[in-house]
Amino acid sequence: MSDVQAVVQTAPGELEIRSFPRPKIGEDDALLKVEACGICGSDYEQYAGEVQVRFPVIPGHEPVGRIDEIGPKAASRWDLQVGDLVVVQPGISCGRCAGCQTGRRCRVVPGNAYGYTSTDITPSLWGGYAQYMYLHPATIMHKVDSSVTPRMAALYNAMGSGFAWAQEAPDLRAGQSIAILGPGQRGLASVIAAKETGAGPIIVTGLRADAHKLALAKELGADVTINVEDDDVVAAVRKATQGRGVDVVVDVSAYATQPILDAIKMVRRGGTIVLAGIKGSNRLREFNSDALIFREITVKGVLGVEYASFAKAIEVIESGRYPLEKLASHTFSLADAETAIRTLAGEVGEGAICIAIDPHMS
């Protein structure tokens, strides 16, 4: 029984490679051979200490892999067998306790989520930055067609966020207009979700440094892109909607708070603003809450992704309707996990959109 190599975060800004024993699998659980693990903005926030976790922890809540070992009860319940390609939802929920029944945190399963559960909790392998990951009986997975590569399947979480935040949360309808503030991986996924809904015009904003992402947004279905450093973003959105304002604004920008103030000005009366971009320690200034009241604006905060949005994401990935390979910008090994995280954050490298870890890459 060989050891499993994994990246472990021991403190903010501190990562190291550690070895763990391969877990023993019983009748009702399984072991995943991780073939790719996507990295999202919250991975950087966790790395930087903005997200509080119990250290030590193996990061990675976007794992893709093949079932390597599975118990007979688990195989029957999940309808899976050894060799099946699956993507794993981050949350681990029993579905029965008071927390699950009220939509809050599960109060039964230790840790509650992959990528955020301490290695001190047996059997330690609770994150996707590892060669293998333990699959708790309460895990929720989606089988992916074998024609899809693990690297492309690793887009499932970003794509799921697009459907959850741009379509489901605001109840986006065909013919409605939408502004997506931020052309990162989840902003681009929101473009696809809006396009699938039949929304329009679809407007995407970004910085000068985002020129390649804004171009890709157009290719994926955006009608208008706006460089907020060179143009008056509110005026540009108003012009694109004949002065009416958009029905929906989705803010997926990281740390910047100005997009929230802009959203209030660019959304139509009675429209909806969805806040998904984490701002960390940054706080709003000159916030006019009366504008929300007098213009009857709905504001929704979103965090996770539910089963239906993941299912829609996987269907789009399997369909080949969009050039999603252009989103898969970088792949790194376990040894280069810190570089991978910092590349996504724009601290090193360039051209980052969707980044993944390949745990078996040398």
Q: What is the CATH number of the domain that holds 242?
A: 3.40.50.720
Q: Are residues 63 and 142 in the same domain?
A: yes
Q: Is 320 part of a structural domain of the chain?
A: no
Parts of the chain with a pLDDT under 50: none
Indicate which CATH number applies to the domain containing 128: 3.90.180.10
Q: Is 308 part of a structural domain of the chain?
A: no
Q: Are residues 63 and 197 in the same domain?
A: no
Number of domains comprising the chain: 2
Each residue of 308-331: pLDDT tens digit?
A: 999 999 999 999 999 999 999 999
Q: Are residues 128 and 146 in the same domain?
A: yes
Q: Is 125 part of a structural domain of the chain?
A: yes
pLDDT at residue number 58: 98
Could you list the residue range(s) of the whole structural domain that residue 168 is in? 158-301
Q: Is 100 part of a structural domain of the chain?
A: yes
Q: Are residues 12 and 113 in the same domain?
A: yes
pLDDT at residue number 102: 63
Q: Is 319 part of a structural domain of the chain?
A: no
Task: State which of 301, 318, 337 marks the end of a domain.
Answer: 301
Q: Are residues 29 and 116 in the same domain?
A: yes
Quickly count: other Cβ atoms within 10 Å of residue 221's Cβ.
18
Q: What is the 3-state secondary structure (H, E, C) of the chain?
A: CCEEEEEEEEECCEEEEEEEECCCCCCCCEEEEEEEEEECHHHHHHHHCCCCCCCCECCCCCEEEEEEEECHHHHHHHCCCCCCEEEECCECCCCCCHHHHCCCCCCCCCCCECCCCECCCCCCCCCCCECEEEECCCCCEEECCCCCCHHHHCCHHHHHHHHHHHHHCCCCCCCCCEEEECCCHHHHHHHHHHHHHCCCCEEEEECHHHHHHHHHHHHHCCCEEEECCCCCHHHHHHHHCCCCCEEEEEECCCCCCHHHHHHHHHEEEEEEEEECCCCCCCCCCCCCCHHHHHCCCEEEECCCCCHHHHHHHHHHHHHCCCCHHHCEEEEECHHHHHHHHHHHCCCCCCCCCEEEECCCCC
Q: Is 315 part of a structural domain of the chain?
A: no
Q: Are residues 141 and 189 in the same domain?
A: no
Q: Are residues 164 and 187 in the same domain?
A: yes
pLDDT at residue number 111: 67
* pTM score of the predicted model: 0.94
Q: Is 317 part of a structural domain of the chain?
A: no
Phi-psi region of 124 (alpha: psi -120 to 50; beta: other; left: phi over 0): left
Q: Are residues 285 and 338 in the same domain?
A: no
pLDDT at residue number 280: 80
Q: Are residues 240 and 292 in the same domain?
A: yes
Q: Are residues 167 and 282 in the same domain?
A: yes
Q: Are residues 232 and 334 in the same domain?
A: no
Q: Are residues 134 and 106 in the same domain?
A: yes
Q: Is 204 part of a structural domain of the chain?
A: yes
